Amino acid sequence: MITKYCITDNNSIDETIIKEAGEIIKKGGLVAFPTETVYGLGGDGLNPESSKKIYAAKGRPSDNPLIIHIADINDLQRITARVPQVAMLLADKYWPGPLTMIFEKADCVPYETTGGLETVAVRFPSHPVAKAFIKAAGGFVAAPSANLSGRPSPTHGEHVRQDMDGRIEMIIDAGPCEIGLESTIIDCTGEYPMLLRPGYVSYDMLAKEMERLDKDPAVFGGDTSTVPKAPGMKYRHYAPKGQLTIVSGTEEKVCEYIVKQIKDKPEGLRIGVISCSDSIQNYSSADYVADIGQRGDEMTIASRLFDILRSFDEENIDIIFSEEFDTPQMGMAIMNRLIKAAGHQIVRVE
* Residue with the shortest CB distance to Mg ion: 145
Smallest distance from the beta carbon of 12 to ligand TXA, in angstroms? 23
Using DSSP, state whether 331 is helix, strand or coil: helix
Which H/E stretch holds residue 313? helix 298-314
Residues 97, 349: Cα–Cα separation, whole Å: 38
- Alpha-carbon torsion 53, 57, 60, 64, what sign? negative
Smallest distance from the beta carbon of 118 to ligand TXA, in angstroms? 8
CA atoms within 13 A on the CB side of 333: 30
Smallest distance from the beta carbon of 298 to ligand TXA, in angstroms? 17
Q: Which is nearer to ligand TXA, 200 or 321 (CB)?
A: 200
| Among ligand TXA, Mg ion, none, residue 65 binds (CB under 5-8 Å by kind) | ligand TXA
Residues 343, 194: Cα–Cα separation, whole Å: 24
Smallest distance from the beta carbon of 49 to ligand TXA, in angstroms? 18
- Do residues 98 and 37 lie in contact, with contact meaning Cβ atoms separated by under 8 Å? yes
Q: Which is nearer to ligand TXA, 47 or 183 (CB)?
A: 183
Smallest distance from the beta carbon of 128 to ligand TXA, in angstroms? 15
CA distance to 168, 198, 239, per residue, from 299 (Å): 31, 15, 21
| Among ligand TXA, Mg ion, none, residue 231 binds (CB under 5-8 Å by kind) | ligand TXA
Smallest distance from the beta carbon of 332 to ligand TXA, in angstroms? 15
Cis peptide before 96 (omega within 30 of 0): yes
Q: For ligand TXA, which residue of 30, 57, 87, 121 counts as binding (CB under 6 A)?
A: 121
Smallest distance from the beta carbon of 248 to ligand TXA, in angstroms? 25
Site for ligand TXA in 196-255 (CB under 6 A): 196, 229-233
Smallest distance from the beta carbon of 295 to ligand TXA, in angstroms? 25
| Among Mg ion, ligand TXA, none, residue 310 binds (CB under 5-8 Å by kind) | none
Q: Which is nearer to ligand TXA, 181 or 254 (CB)?
A: 181
- Do residues 294 and 277 lie in contact, with contact meaning Cβ atoms separated by under 8 Å? yes
Binding mask 12-51 for ligand TXA (x = CB under 6 A): -----------------------x-xx-x-----------
Size of residue set near ligand TXA by CB under 6 A = 28
Pairing of strands 67-69, 141-142: antiparallel
Q: For ligand TXA, which residue of 62, 64, 162, 243 counts as binding (CB under 6 A)?
A: 64
Q: Which is nearer to ligand TXA, 54 or 255 (CB)?
A: 54
Q: Which is nearer to ligand TXA, 160 or 276 (CB)?
A: 160
- Do residues 139 and 70 lie in contact, with contact meaning Cβ atoms separated by under 8 Å? yes
**29 DSSP 8-state letter:** -
Site for Mg ion in 114-153 (CB under 5 A): 145
Which H/E stretch holds residue 26? helix 15-26
- For residue 253, the one-letter residue type is K
Q: Which is nearer to Mg ion, 145 or 202 (CB)?
A: 145
Site for ligand TXA in 136-195 (CB under 6 A): 143-145, 182-183, 185
- Do residues 78 and 108 lie in contact, with contact meaning Cβ atoms separated by under 8 Å? yes
Q: Which residues of 182-192 are buried (b: 16+ CB within 10 A; e: fewer)?
A: bbbbbbbbeee
Pairing of strands 170-173, 31-33: parallel
Smallest distance from the beta carbon of 59 to Mg ion, in angstroms? 12
Determine the length of the chain.
350
CB atoms within 10 A of CB 103: 22
List residues near Mg ion by CB under 5 A: 145
List residues near ligand TXA by CB under 6 A: 35, 37-38, 40, 64-67, 100, 102, 114, 117, 119-121, 123, 143-145, 182-183, 185, 196, 229-233
